[in-house]
Structure 1
Amino acid sequence: MDIMSLDALYFSSNNLTGQIPPLPRNLSVLDISRNSLSGPLPSNFGAPNLDLIALYSNYISGQIPTSICELSLYGLDLANNLFEGELPQCLNMSRMTYLLLSNNISFSGNFPPFLRSCTSLSFLDLSWNRFSGTLPMWIGSCSSLQFLRLNHNMFYGHIPNNITSLTNIYHLNLAANWISGVIPPHLSNLTFMTRRYILDPYKDVPAGFQDIIGELLIDTKGQQLNYHGAGVLEILSIDLSSNHLTGKIPDGITSLDGLVNLNLSRNQLNGEVPDKIGAMQSLESLDLSNNNLFGEIPSSISNLTFLSILDLSYNNLTGRIPSGRQLDTLYTGNPSMYDGNTGLCGRPLQRNCGSNNTSEHGDEKRDEHHSGPMFFYFGLGIGYVVGLWVVFCALLFQKAWRIAYFRLVGRFYDKIYVFVVITWKSFTRKADVR
């Protein structure tokens, strides 16, 4: 067999080393991922019909050559290598469906402007690099996007409001950037996330998916989990953590009842936790920690029976913690999930809401019980003293009143004296007769 006539080359997961050699001219698929290849990409691939290149998990370095723009690629996976510099400004990329450049550390420059013409773009992963600038307003027009990971870069500015036009998206990760402003309000427009997703491998796996998607590390449930192949399609996730977002959590987010992972932690969000958070029945991981949220934890949160991770720590939440066997189990696995909320009380914390309230009301009742008689006697004494001073002052300054007073006292004394003498004489007479 003439190797130069090959149209597909699969050498994935071997121990290949060295640089990429000249390629067969008729080659359309090149998969040499998960090897130990090094050095730069060839300046000319020598295979003008290439439409899929999978080189992830090697040690290839340098910049992407401009010759790649001459190819009509639908898939390019250069993740987990040592590439650097800006991406070439290709114009002929309208077929691009999968562009995976994560974990190269040194890719830089703005959000790739040539992606605006990629109407078929479904998977875009630029995570763990040094891309910067603002997210373009036209990102909402990439209507085919299903998977968007821009986390761990240096993007800044606001999240474009029209990002909610991505009705097919099921994985959105903008974590660990410098993004500010509010969360777009119309998240209910992300209709793919509004239903529990059950993968149909014959219908839901996009064309070419198995060839280009090998394995992906997904941040969920408080850790990085490795998903292989079509398994990643079942992780409906929004991660906006570790940014500078402000404002309230939009109520519309509770309509995304197919969402499995929601992480809004380490921002500056305020307001209350949405009251209907319990409607997100598919949630397995919910992290709202390290924000400025206040108010009570909605009782509906106990309806999230699939939860395996819950973190509400370091906010300003107050009131009684909702009860529920699921929440108690989560606390056992993560006893720090309520830390930093000094206003929370009730099980499973040691601060008992009921006893505190009873004690306070009891003290008030005891105070009322003791203070009632005390105020009565105090008022009686004050009245007595004031009355004496009124009489004393009247006698002191009114001569006629003094004369009348002493005459009254004298008459009263005389009557008492006469009554006592007569009574005494009568008593002694009776005693003598006996």
Structure 2
Amino acid sequence: MAEPRQQVRARMILTMCFLLFFHQSWSAQAGSLCVPGERDALLDFKAGLTDPTNSLSSSWRGMECCRWTGVVCSNRTGHVVTLQMHARHVGGEIRSSLLTLRHLKRLDLSGNDFGGEPIPELIGALGRGRLTHLDLSYSNFGGRIPPHLGNLSNLVSLKLEYMAHAIYSPDIAWVSRLTKLQVLRVSQVDLGAAIDWTHAINMLPSLMELDLRSCGLQNSMPSTMLPNLTSLETLTLDGNSFNTSLGPKSWVWDLPSLQELSLTSCGIDGQLPDAVGKLTSIRKLSLASNKFDGMVPLTLKNLKKLQRVDLSSNFINMDVAELLHRLAADELQYLDLGHNRLTGSVPVGIRELINLKGLSLTHNNLHGTISQSIGELHALESVDLSHNEISGEIPTSISALTSLNLLDLSYNNLTGAIPTGNQLQALDDPMFIYIGNPGLCGPPLPRSCLRTDIIANAPGKHDRGMSDVLSLYLSMCIGFVAGLWIVFFGFLFKRRWRVGWFSFTDRVYNRAYVQVAVGWACLARKMSQG
């Protein structure tokens, strides 16, 4: 009998637990969770804001604050844990009543306009240190970033990017206290006075994403190692004038988890060192608009996971076939080598880049022909080979690229008939694809292939013919100008010529006037009699 009693007791306990859970869930759904003190704090917070679009006035109504737009409460306690104010078009004053939200974990004020006012120091005390996510991006805060933000010791994500132009921080030592930080974005915050910024960053062992784009960092790319950044996956330092070279001992090559590296427009010079091959986890490498020269290292072959490479607008000088051979073809999808000093021709070996979707070799010194093997890159979506010295015919295999949506072969020395194909016919602005290639013919160009073949086979005669036409027009212009000046000087120095000319024009005018007047009078008289 004892065993059935234990089963009954167990069922009763389970039933009570279920009823308690159901009661809490029903209470939350019935709207009884909003903490009155926190509701009052939210209303006072709203009262300090300017709300020109009435985005809050129309939604922050009623007793149940947990149902207000942008307010998220805990289902268990009813405390406000998230305040989502992204792009609500608000501004004004952030009042201290926000401190009443002691359980706040997420605050998003991004995409608003606070008129260049400084970030309030009170934000550094929000949620009694419980705050894990803070986003003030695109909110037009200005002035100095308060070091009080370093008190938010539980922060996981801090985004202060693209605020007012006058926002700055003379140092970022306060960042070193945010030891749990995983995401740090402070793009366009003036850090020009922050000398030892790498030391503060090195104190963040959990950091996974660092964005210091256009922060005014100058001549401060230290070569010392940063051993604590073992979790860093994304590093963006675009638009900082480092004006130095990246030696083999630079700390950027010793980030074992790095997947994305962007150093665009940083004034970096010299050759790309062999140490780049240590970034075996890298997927995106952007070193565009710098002063890299010479050849790329053989160690690029080690980057088996590389998907995007942008080395455009540098001074890289090597054969394009050798450069392509030094890239790992396994996963490469986008390759931009435009605006360099590459030589050679588009090689047969390009077929190895089987996953390639985008290729740009514009503005180089390429010559020779385009290999037919380009048609084997069936994933290609965009190809830009413009502004080179490429000659020969356009390979017919290019019409087999069914995914192609952008093609630019302009300003080369291509000749012959333009290939046809359904995909080529569907491309936008077909005339501009082939402009600057006088030897091309056939649709979509108006030039007849027969005539083009003649011209292409006799380039010397074509050039002489053009020269003769130009000489004829030039002679006519010079003769006209010379004759005009002779007449002008004759009138200027010969008084009899001037008197004779004006007398002649007066007689012609008088005769014409009399003829017109008499004719008009006769016509008017005939019409009145009729």
Which range, TM-score by smaller chain?
Answer: 0.5 to 0.7
Structure 1 residue 251: deviation in Å? 3.7
Structure 2 counterpart of 1:98: 209
Contact 1:93 1:114 in 2 (8 A): no
Q: Of 104, 125, 129, which aligns to 2:236?
A: 125
* Higher RCO structure, 1 or 2 (CA under 8 Å, sep 6+): 1
Residue aligning to 1:266: 339
User: Which 4+ residue blocks in structure 1 deviate beyond 6 angstroms?
Assistant: 327-332, 352-360
- Given the two structures, how large is their TM-score scaled by the length of structure 1? 0.64
Q: Deviations over 1:358-396 (max 9, x none)?
A: 979x99xxxxxxxxxxxxxxxxxxxxxxxxxxxxxxxxx
CA contact (8 A) 1:41 1:65 kept: no
Deviations 1:306-327 (A, max 9, x none): 3332111222323222113547
What does residue 54 of structure 1 align with? 159
Normalising to structure 2: TM-score of the pair? 0.53
Match of 2:185 in 1: 77
Partner of 1:290: 363
Which position in structure 1 is the counterpart of 2:245? 134
8 Å Cα contact 1:125-1:149 kept in structure 2: yes
Letter in 2 for 1:65: I
Indicate how the Cα distance of structure 1 residues 255 and 155 shifts in structure 2: closer, same or farther if over 3 A, else same: closer
- The code of the aligned residue for 1:351 comes to G
The answer to whether the 8 A contact 2:111-2:138 is kept is yes
* CA distance 1:338–1:37, shift in 2 (3 Å): same
Query: Are the equivalent residues in 1 in contact too, given 2:188–2:213 (CA < 8 A)?
Result: yes
Counterpart Cα distance in 2 of 1:357 and 1:178? 41
Match of 1:35 in 2: 139
> Counterpart of 1:267 in structure 2: which amino acid?
N
Alignment of 1:414-425 (within 5 A): none
The Cα of 1:272 is off from its aligned counterpart by: 3.1
**Alpha-carbon distance in 1 for matches of 2:410, 2:246:** 34
Residue 19 of structure 1 pairs with residue 118 of structure 2: yes
Contact 2:381 2:406 in 1 (8 A): no
* CA separation of 1:186 and 1:77: change in aligned 2, threshold 3 A: same
Distance 2:198 2:160 in 1: 20
Deviations 1:96-123 (A, max 9, x none): 221101244x332332556632222110
Residues 99 and 3 of structure 1: is their aligned pair in 2 closer, same or farther, counting only changes over 3 Å?
farther
Q: CA deviation at 1:297?
A: 1.1
Segments of 5+ residues of structure 1 without an aligned counterpart are 194-235, 364-434
- Bigger Cα displacement from structure 2, 324-333 vs 167-176: 324-333
Alpha-carbon distance in 2 for matches of 1:175, 1:352: 33
Superposition pairs of residues 281-320 of structure 1, within 5 angstroms = 281-320=354-393
- Give the distance between the partners of 2:219 and 2:104, measured in 1 at CA: 34
Question: What amino acid sits opposite 1:192 in the alignment?
Answer: K
Q: Matches of 1:323 and 1:156 in 2, distance apart?
A: 40
- Is this contact kept in 2: 1:243–1:267, CA < 8 A? yes
Q: In structure 2, which of residues 182, 202, 217 is the aligned counterpart of residue 107 of structure 1?
A: 217
Tell me which residue corresponds to 1:170: 283
Instruction: Report which of the two structures shows the higher radius of gyration computed on alpha carbons.
Output: 1
Indicate the SS of the match to 1:187.
helix
Query: Relative to structure 1, is the Cα distance of residues 170 and 12 closer, same or farther in structure 2, using a 3 angstrom cutoff?
Result: farther
Gaps of 5+ in 2: 1-37, 39-98, 420-436, 442-448, 459-530
The structure with the greater share of residues assigned to strand is 1
Q: Which moved more, 1:162-171 or 1:64-73?
A: 64-73
Supply the AA of the counterpart residue of 1:13. Answer: S
Structure 2 distance, partners of 1:308, 1:277, is 15
In 2, the alpha carbon distance for the partners of 1:45 and 1:152 equals: 30
Identity of aligned residues (%): 27
Residue 400 of structure 1 aligns with which residue? none
